[in-house]
Structure 1
Amino acid sequence: MHTLDASERKKLEGRSLVIGMWGNLFMGGAGVMAAILSNSNAILVDGLFSLIGFTAALLGRNVSRNVDAGPDRLRPIGYAADEAIFTTFRALSLLGLLLFAMCSAVMNIYNYATGHPPEPLIFEPLIVYFIVIGLTCFLLWWVHHRSWSKTGRNSDVLRLEAKAAAFDGVITAAAGLGILGILLLQDTALGVITPVGDSIIVLLLCLTAVTQYYKDFMSGLGELAGVTAGPEHIAKVRRAIRKILSKDGGRLVDLSILKLGRSFHVSIYYDPMRALDAQEFDKLTLDLEHELVTVMPLVEVVVLPTQYGRRWPDDVNPRKNPRTHQ
């Protein structure tokens, strides 16, 4: 199997995001138009979801261009944090939309219960909408998922866009089935709820999605806050560096790993047990980075010579034992 290099991965990711950008713009416009023609709040939420997807794909494309750029004068630790910022606020924007839709649905149900029924649904424009938008969502999911897989499954941008496309498709399908159900229930004992049936559908769909996007938001926020990477990443790093450090003859004092999007920052606290000059130390760092890049394509390694770990012991910690000057 042909392995894509960095430029090919970036090109494929960019192409996927461009397709997603225009696909979401088309679905957003179609959703708003169909909502106006049909008086459906469920379809309006679907269209707004797609318009947010258009903005996200536009921003995500810019993020993907710079995410693997190295440190420079403007960004001394590189641009990896941009992907974590993007995924965090992408999830937050989706949460905001879901909460808005839930509040709107609750208000519609309340107004109906107090004697103010909404405009009746017009079903004819919805049939074409559900077919076309459902197929478009599936196509976008397939494009993003395929690109994510071919680029090594490291891009949080593509992962979240694929998930969003899949959920948009689920919303569309569920709204279509729900509105069909409303049509079939009109002449039954449950016909009393059909005037607010699409508001009930919106409420149920949003409740099922809030938990997932809240998890995505908290995950991105944790990366920005500097929370330690997951245990599977720590185990992967330990296995990769064990042979090199054992051969060097020193002692691994501590290890910390931060994840920012698809990038990892690995700090190795190391006691070499002997004197090392700068050239030897650079060679050790590069050997470790060459080993780690085989399991983490985007990784920055910092080796800190120390007999302590990631924090000073209390007896020498300057914050706990400040020196007094005469």
Structure 2
Amino acid sequence: MQKSIEQRSLTVNFIITFIVSVAGIIVYFVTDIQALLLDGFFSFISFLSAMVGIYISRISHKKTTRYPHGLHFLEPLYAIFKSILILLLLLLAFINASETALHYFLAGEGEPLLVGPILPYTLFVVTLCFALSFYNHYQNRKINFLSTILKAETKGSMIDGLQSLGAGLAFCLLYFIDLNGTFGFLHYTADFFITSISVICLLPEPVKMLHVAFIELSHGLTTDQEITEPIDDLILQHFKHVLPHINYQIVKIGMALSVKIYVENHDAELLLRILSIRPHFLEELQALYPNARASIIYI
């Protein structure tokens, strides 16, 4: 059920990001504005990653001899590669826009920006991107925010929409700036300023996504409260009478969860009591997270 929701959502991402990327690239070739190239290729990366995400979603639950618990590590690996691609794209867009601005400031040469089709393009793309981000978030909420892939797609669509909105509004201001006036230089260099601001504002999100995905891939403890709070409630419900004697950790790798319960008291009767609680706890845990496991570790 959870995998089918994830795969259906990624199919919607595949269709919408293809439409947005084609629109961005067409408008770039019409206007020759680097910020729109950044916008179009950002969407194109989302389109390609949606294809990869669909494939990973279909195979990540499969168990092999080498990976008896499944290939869930592919999901944070996907998020890592996507965040790196976004960072590289932001860097390349900044470099390309800088070259155009330097050529104008140093040589006094350049072509004024053609902003004619930007307003309708902005309205179209921003509406689609924000709607897609909300859709991804809603679908992920239906599966208790367990999908690392949908979380990456939610952030990616939001970044794409914010970037398009900021760039579109800024370029629309050129309609009101006289080409021969005091700020006429912006008709030649606005691409650089808008791209630079976009890069600075958007940079934290892929960095954060990279950090979280790396923690998952390296089996680090999850700190996502949307994941941990329901598990905390289950622990309190089932183990409340033995809480002084146990400690627990939650590790999330893709859509797979592992709850490790450490028994710190060496009393054999206490251990047997905890072991008797485990089946009921695991049953309710898997009702929320079907790929969850619970281990009792005696230390």
Shorter-chain TM range is 0.7 to 0.9
CA distance in 2 between counterparts of 1:284 and 1:98 reads 51
Partner AA of 1:223 in structure 2: E
49-58 or 294-303, which moves further after superposition?
A: 294-303
Decide whether the 8 Å contact of 2:118 with 2:172 is kept in 1. Answer: no
1:300 alignment counterpart = 293
Shift in Å at residue 166 of structure 1? 2.2
Decide whether the 8 Å contact of 1:223 with 1:258 is kept in 2. Answer: yes
2:14 alignment counterpart = 21
Decide whether the 8 Å contact of 1:18 with 1:57 is kept in 2. Answer: yes
Cα-Cα RMSD: 3.0
2:56 alignment counterpart = 63
CA distance in 2 between counterparts of 1:36 and 1:256 reads 52
Shift in Å at residue 238 of structure 1? 5.0
Decide whether the 8 Å contact of 1:102 with 1:203 is kept in 2. Answer: yes
Matches within 5 A, 1:35-50: 35-50=28-43
Shift in Å at residue 171 of structure 1? 1.6
169-178 or 283-292, which moves further after superposition?
A: 283-292
CA 288–72 in structure 1, closer or farther in 2 if over 3 Å, else same = farther
188, 201, 210: which one aligns with 1:195: 188
Shift in Å at residue 150 of structure 1? 3.0
In terms of Rg, which structure is larger? Answer: 1
CA distance in 1 between counterparts of 2:98 and 2:35 reads 13
19-28 or 294-303, which moves further after superposition?
A: 294-303
Partner AA of 1:51 in structure 2: F
Decide whether the 8 Å contact of 1:39 with 1:119 is kept in 2. Answer: no
CA 277–234 in structure 1, closer or farther in 2 if over 3 Å, else same = closer
SS at match of 1:178: helix
Decide whether the 8 Å contact of 1:39 with 1:120 is kept in 2. Answer: no
238, 258, 265: which one aligns with 2:251: 258
CA 284–205 in structure 1, closer or farther in 2 if over 3 Å, else same = same
Unaligned runs of 5+ in 1: 1-5, 309-326
Deviation sequence 1:225-254 (CA, Å, 0-9, x none): 22222284666545423554567x798454
Task: Name whichever structure is richer in helix by fraction.
Answer: 2
Unaligned runs of 5+ in 2: none
62, 65, 71: which one aligns with 1:79: 71
CA 243–37 in structure 1, closer or farther in 2 if over 3 Å, else same = closer
CA distance in 1 between counterparts of 2:136 and 2:26 reads 26
CA distance in 2 between counterparts of 1:254 and 1:145 reads 32
| Structure 2 residue 175 is the aligned partner of structure 1 residue 179 | no
Decide whether the 8 Å contact of 1:14 with 1:64 is kept in 2. Answer: yes
Decide whether the 8 Å contact of 1:46 with 1:168 is kept in 2. Answer: yes
Decide whether the 8 Å contact of 2:101 with 2:189 is kept in 1. Answer: yes
Decide whether the 8 Å contact of 1:245 with 1:251 is kept in 2. Answer: no
Decide whether the 8 Å contact of 1:105 with 1:199 is kept in 2. Answer: yes
Partner AA of 1:81 in structure 2: F
CA 291–117 in structure 1, closer or farther in 2 if over 3 Å, else same = same
CA 142–28 in structure 1, closer or farther in 2 if over 3 Å, else same = same
Decide whether the 8 Å contact of 2:101 with 2:192 is kept in 1. Answer: yes
1:99 alignment counterpart = 91
Partner AA of 2:78 in structure 1: F
Deviation sequence 1:137-181 (CA, Å, 0-9, x none): 233234323322333332222222122222212222221111111
Query: Which portions of structure 1, spanning 4 or more consecutive aligned residues, are displaced by more than 6 angstroms?
Result: 275-278
234-243 or 105-114, which moves further after superposition?
A: 234-243
Q: Normalising by the residue count of structure 1, what TM-score does the alignment of the two structures yield?
A: 0.79
44, 60, 80: which one aligns with 1:51: 44
1:159 alignment counterpart = 151
Decide whether the 8 Å contact of 1:250 with 1:273 is kept in 2. Answer: no
166-175 or 291-300, which moves further after superposition?
A: 291-300
2:234 alignment counterpart = 240
CA 78–172 in structure 1, closer or farther in 2 if over 3 Å, else same = same
CA 47–231 in structure 1, closer or farther in 2 if over 3 Å, else same = closer
Partner AA of 1:33 in structure 2: I
CA distance in 1 between counterparts of 2:258 and 2:31 reads 51
Q: Normalising by the residue count of structure 2, what TM-score does the alignment of the two structures yield?
A: 0.85
CA distance in 1 between counterparts of 2:290 and 2:84 reads 28
